[in-house]
Structure 1
Amino acid sequence: MPQHADQLRSRGRGCGYPEGHANITDADLAAALAAKAPLATHVITQICFDARATVDWARRVHRDHSDLDVVIGVPAPVSRQKLMRIAGGIGLGQSARFLRKQQNTIWQLIRPGGYRPDKLLRAFEPHLAAPDVNIAGIHLFTFNELAGAEAWRRSLLARLDAG
């Protein structure tokens, strides 16, 4: 372990891909995570609209790296055009496997009223305290739509407090 490993560990984080990446093999992703895990405290997932895939991936991370927390990356409410552009830019939209598996989600994104994170967050709720996944929190990707994301976050918290 390098000198100052505790300092590195206190600040370290990694990036996780619950459904893989269009341009990186699963073996290379696993090797990169294994190399980073000793220096990281948590891993933030990339966008994944499939809660089951994310939870299954978090379960594998816990099995292979039990000290590594998982923070689930969820897109904040943004326009469907921006969300699709960003999804394509990070490799999701280019993956034929992603497109085949996510046809229903893509339809939801392009119809009026499209994507809202509420439903995705509710799908994670039963797993948040599960001891076999090490889910430590949620990270909202705002895509520089800070005012809208903050308004949505406050509204969500007010609904949770009321209910």
Structure 2
Amino acid sequence: QLSNGGKLTTCIIRPNTVYGEKAAFLQESYLLVKASNGVLNYLEPESTERNHTYVGNVAWMHVLAARNLQLKPDLLAGQVYYCYDDTPTGKGFLVRHQLLSSVDPSVRLGSHIPYWKMWLMVQLHRIIRAILYPFWKPQPFLNLPLLNTIVTTFSYETDKASRHFGYKPFFTWKES
């Protein structure tokens, strides 16, 4: 109950991996690729899949949901809407490769870095950080929860936002 007597209604807009012109993970990936002579190595196993959504379409879904929460609060209130557009669902490293090579055609797809190697690097970093903590506080480049997220499939197929509030992606895959 709001102070003016009204009722607060909300819904959840849940993007998976969001990309766009200023996406930090793409900029960091590009810098790593350039430092590796144009080779994009990756952590995800070949079997993992992930949905990617362009940032402009995530914003557009928020706008439409906000409008329609006022018009149809009983339908949208308490609902969860996963963000989607026509970005290909699939292996995250292939989508990153497509995005990076569209900006710089010299970017080449490298090889898979095994989980155990990254797990070992995370553990070594934790040990070094604990030893050097009084003198130096290095920021972790990766932690175990993030590593486990990277190697886990999370994908979905839905049209719920379209059915409930008329969402259609504003930007196409090619435009993004």
Identify whether the pair has TM-score above 0.5, normalized to the shorter chain. Answer: no
RCO (CA 8 Å, sep 6+): is it higher in 1 or 2? 2
Q: Which has the larger radius of gyration?
A: 2
As a proportion of its length, which structure holds more helix?
1
